């Protein structure tokens, strides 16, 4: 059974999708053992507490830079004996001290089809604003491994979602969450926990 540590910063709907998937047996061979938040008032912390999951708060504001913050996160991950780390709406880019300590063991959900609308500065509603400004007809979500470059690690799963003419960033965000993120994130976590993701030449493939 793998220890899954979920890192959050906000509402935690992706965390909720993971909790629900664990309860319904969609996630096999893994359990969420700790939720770590960069934001003391994140609603995600309540979701974890309501489900009896241990929480830790590491406020980003209390650290002067990304490197010192990342070392604090790394210490917490080591203490929690993390097998898999899931960034579920975690709004801080982690320094390479974390990504190098956990190669191919950190996954992130991004609310667009990478390599579109991703990288530094593309997070939350900004991603959907950019997709609407460009005028794409499909956007979607991507689950990928985290490496030293923002949103550039090996892609595990992607799901396209239609963009409608009347969409606002908020409406598009909600449709992408419901139709893509909340489905492919638990699926990828389950595949990881069952050792069904293999890496060949830096790319991720699903073992049948
Ligand atoms: C989600 O849409 C997630 O994909 C996005 O923030 C939202 C968090 O919602 N993450 C990023 O933009 C990271 N680059 P949640 O807190 O309700 O899961």
Contact 103, 185 (CB under 8 A): no
pLDDT per position as a tens digit, 143-193 = 999 999 999 999 999 999 999 999 999 999 999 999 999 999 999 999 999
Question: What is the CA(183)–ligand 1 centre distance, in A?
Answer: 14
Residue 207 is predicted with a pLDDT of 96
Residue 130 is predicted with a pLDDT of 98
Mean pLDDT on 119-144: 97
For residue 2, pLDDT beyond 90:
yes
For residue 208, pLDDT beyond 90:
no
**Among this protein's residues, is 71 annotated catalytic?**
no
Calpha distance 17→3 (Å, rounded): 17
Calpha distance 8→208 (Å, rounded): 31
The model's pTM is 0.97
**Strand spans (E) along 120-166:** 138-145, 155-162
**C-alpha closest to that of 146 among 177, 100, 193, 178:** 100
Confidence of residue 123 (pLDDT cuts 50, 70, 90): very high
Mean pLDDT on 98-118: 98
Ligand 1 atom with the shortest distance to the CA of 151? 14
The residue whose CB lies within 8 Å of the most ligand 1 atoms, and thus the one to mutate among 48, 108, 124, 173, is 124
Residue 61 is predicted with a pLDDT of 97
Mean pLDDT on 79-91: 98
**C-alpha closest to that of 193 among 109, 105, 108, 90:** 105
Mean pLDDT on 58-70: 97
Residue 52 is predicted with a pLDDT of 98
Q: Could you tell me whether strands 197-200 and 203-206 are parallel, antiparallel, or unpaired per DSSP bridges?
A: antiparallel
**C-alpha closest to that of 190 among 8, 46, 76, 24:** 24
Question: What is the CA(9)–ligand 1 centre distance, in A?
Answer: 9
């Amino acid at each position: 059974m793998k220890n899954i540590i979920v890192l959050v910063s906000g509402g935690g709907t992706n965390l909720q999708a993971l909790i629900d998937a664990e309860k319904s047996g969609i996630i096999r061979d893994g359990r969420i053992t700790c939720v770590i938040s960069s934001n003391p008032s994140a609603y995600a912390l309540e979701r974890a507490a309501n489900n009896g999951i241990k929480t830790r708060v590491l406020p980003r504001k209390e650290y002067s830079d990304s490197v010192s913050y990342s070392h604090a996160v790394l210490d917490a991950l080591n203490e929690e004996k993390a097998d898999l780390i899931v960034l579920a709406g975690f709004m801080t880019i982690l320094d390479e001290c974390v990504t190098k300590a956990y190669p191919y063991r950190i996954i992130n959900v991004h609310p667009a089809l990478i390599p579109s609308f991703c990288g530094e500065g593309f997070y939350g509603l900004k991603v959907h604003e950019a997709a609407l400004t460009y005028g794409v007809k499909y956007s979607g979500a991507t689950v990928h491994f985290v490496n030293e470059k923002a949103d550039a690690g090996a892609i595990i799963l992607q799901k396209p979602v239609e963009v409608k003419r009347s969409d606002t960033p908020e409406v598009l965000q909600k449709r992408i969450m419901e139709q893509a993120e909340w489905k492919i994130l638990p699926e990828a976590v389950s595949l990881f926990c069952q050792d069904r993701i293999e890496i060949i030449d830096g790319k991720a493939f699903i073992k049948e």
